[in-house]
Amino acid sequence: MDGHDREARDDPAAVARAALVREIGASGAFHADPVWREAFAAVPRHLFVPYYYVGVVGGYERRWGEHPDPRERERWLRGAYEDAPLATRLRDGELLSSSSQPSLMALMLAGLEVRDGQKVLEIGTGSGYNAALLAHRLGDDLVTTVDLDPEITESARRHLDAAGHRPAVVTGDGTRGVPARAPYDRIIATCALPSVPRAWLAQCRPGGRILAPFATGLVALTVRDAGHAEGRFLHTPAYFVPLRGAGRSWREQPDLEGLPPAARGSDLFRFLLALTAGALDPRRAYDLWEDAGRPQRERYGLTADAEGDRVWLDEPGGPHVWPVPAA
């Protein structure tokens, strides 16, 4: 047994982290860009979630790493390395911030298609874990992360420092980007958007890529210039905390009573409803969904330009195009 193996065996966090990396790998999340495997293996997630909340009957239970009971500390550490989202900040029972499911984070980072030497802006700092993964891959100087809540950014700075990373952590309105550190090659959001902020297009280099949760999916946009971006959705579903102040929740769904069970129980149909909210009623949406062969997420796309935001099926100039309602 070499020194590395002995260290891993003697360090419960290292053992748990290695198991998480294997689980993420088994999900296929590293296939598109295997470089992220090393980042997840190196960055200690538990440093970014010194406490978190898990749902129990009637509310939430707090787990934390400084609990006086060693069994509770072990349970906290074990939970920190599960492939699951962790609620990290609550206010009056409302979820404000979380650490996303690691396998989904890996899919998003791979979908960002980042390359060495590129500058990245992250919208939604959260615990700081995602920023640490980016900083490990690219270096601190190339990573900027922004969040509206000063308590979130301050705690993220502490977590990042504990993990040995110092990217730029900015407190501010993420919809405005961070112009002082622009231009960026990549922008990634970790909160669900009601529309594409035009400041992001202006701060992204032509040919750059924006990856963001939209409705209940992930859209990858290629930026042509400050006034135009377009792209398709990735295959995976995604449910994120809404961008604060957006004024609309993608989780709000119309009554599906009267539709066939195949539609009521289909995540893909609900995705279409979320994309076309206000443009198609459930009956018309169901007819389209059936006629189009129950399309997968990758067949949908989004265009953001001077005419507004529009979602579409198959082609941006095709027969199925719907305006995104104002937030």
**Over the stretch 173-204, which tens digit does the pLDDT of each residue have?**
999 999 999 999 999 999 889 999 999 999 99
Higher pLDDT, 96 or 138: 138
- pLDDT exceeds 50 at position 11: yes
Which percentage of the chain shows pLDDT scores above 90? 80
Average pLDDT (89-118) is 90
Backbone angles phi, psi at 255, to 5 degrees: -70, 125
Intervals of CATH 3.40.50.150 along the chain: 3-190
Pairing of strands 308-313, 321-323: antiparallel
Residue 142 structure tokens:
């190339």
In whole angstroms, what is the distance from residue 46 CA to residue 76 CA? 9
Residue 97 bears catalytic tag: yes
Q: Which helix (H) or strand (E) holds 230?
A: strand 228-233
Q: Which of 27, 97, 100, 127 is catalytic?
A: 97
Averaged pLDDT, 9-36: 93
What class is the 3-190 domain?
alpha beta
Query: What's the mean pLDDT when you consider all of the chain?
Result: 91
The token duo for 264 is 């009521």
**Distance between CA atoms of residues 97 and 91, nearest Å:** 10
Residue 245 has pLDDT above 70, yes or no: no
User: Can you tell me the distance from the alpha carbon of 246 to that of 9, in angstroms, rounded to the nearest whole number?
Assistant: 46
Q: What percent of the chain has pLDDT over 70?
A: 93
